[in-house]
Amino acid sequence: MNFIFSNLNVIVLVIWLLFLALVAIRYFRPAWPVRALSSHWLIAIAIGLHLFYGLFVSWGQYYVWATSGDFTRIFINSPLPAEVPFWSWARPIFSNHLGYFLHYVLGRFWLNIFVLFLFSISLYFLFKIWRFYRGGFLAEGPELLLILMLISGWPGVLVSVSLGFILSIISLGFFYFKGKRVVNIEPIFIFATFFSLLFARSILNVLQ
């Protein structure tokens, strides 16, 4: 268990890279058996992985505090202090002995997951509306982009989406002068997602 906790970031990165490879193979090699996995199944798997991660790290935080000594056990046996600002309607949820722990894991782990879901689903519906009125996507293009945004995670999705749009504009300009008026942006976002998984954290640390 200590090995998992010590190398959790690497393990999570490898899992998402493998999942991205599966998505890329499904896109670039449609004749392969992975094509049998529908985009909706891939979306469900990506959401499930995020929820499992949230549950696992929440349990891990509880386990660490519960086994590290009397001082850390205070954090799992204390309500949220009244001095901590929070929505009044939600405060009763944190008034029990797990209040401080729930508040901590919500802000430390689950907030990023919820923000990622909200951001990704919002862009997904914008892509669906654009495809309905203007076209420009493959048949499952918006679904593929949603999967890629979920893979990128938060805040990595900010890097992958920004890079994807920048590279798409550059590609459109390049191929326009080559006489090609239609460019599929989906493979560009696959590359942007791969880049984001590897370098988003470093980029965002520099920009802070």
Per residue in 13-44, pLDDT (tens digit) is 999 999 999 999 988 887 677 777 888 999 99
Q: Is the pLDDT of residue 108 over 80?
A: yes
Indicate whether 1 belongs to any domain: no
Indicate whether 2 belongs to any domain: no
Q: Answer yes or no: are the C-beta atoms of 190 and 29 closer than 8 Å.
A: no
Indicate whether 3 belongs to any domain: no
Indicate whether 208 belongs to any domain: no
- Phi and psi at residue 3, in whole multiples of 5°? -65, -45
- pLDDT class of 207 with cuts at 50, 70, 90: confident
CA 173 to chain centre: 30
Residue 78 backbone class (left: φ over 0; alpha: ψ -120 to 50; beta: rest): beta
Q: Which helix (H) or strand (E) holds 44?
A: helix 39-67
Q: Is the pLDDT of residue 135 over 70?
A: no
Query: Range of 191's domain?
Result: 12-203
Average confidence score pLDDT of the chain: 88
Q: Name which residue leads in pLDDT, 112 or 84.
A: 112
- pLDDT for position 89: 67
Indicate whether 21 belongs to any domain: yes
- pLDDT class of 56 with cuts at 50, 70, 90: very high
Q: Is the pLDDT of residue 118 over 80?
A: yes
Amino acid occupying residue 44: A
CA pair distance 59, 119, nearest whole angstrom: 26
Q: Answer yes or no: are the C-beta atoms of 197 and 152 closer than 8 Å.
A: yes
Indicate whether 110 belongs to any domain: yes
- pLDDT for position 31: 67
CA pair distance 22, 26, nearest whole angstrom: 6
Indicate whether 4 belongs to any domain: no
Q: What is the DSSP letter of 108?
A: I
Nearest to 99 by CA among 81, 82, 77, 79: 79
For the chain, the domain total comes to 1
* C-alpha distances in Å from residue 10, one per residue of 5, 14, 80, 180, 197: 10, 6, 32, 41, 11
- Phi and psi at residue 101, in whole multiples of 5°? -60, -45
**DSSP-based three-state secondary structure for 85:** coil
Residue with tokens 């994807």: 164
Indicate whether 179 belongs to any domain: yes
Nearest to 56 by CA among 15, 23, 93, 18: 15
Q: What is the DSSP letter of 109?
A: I
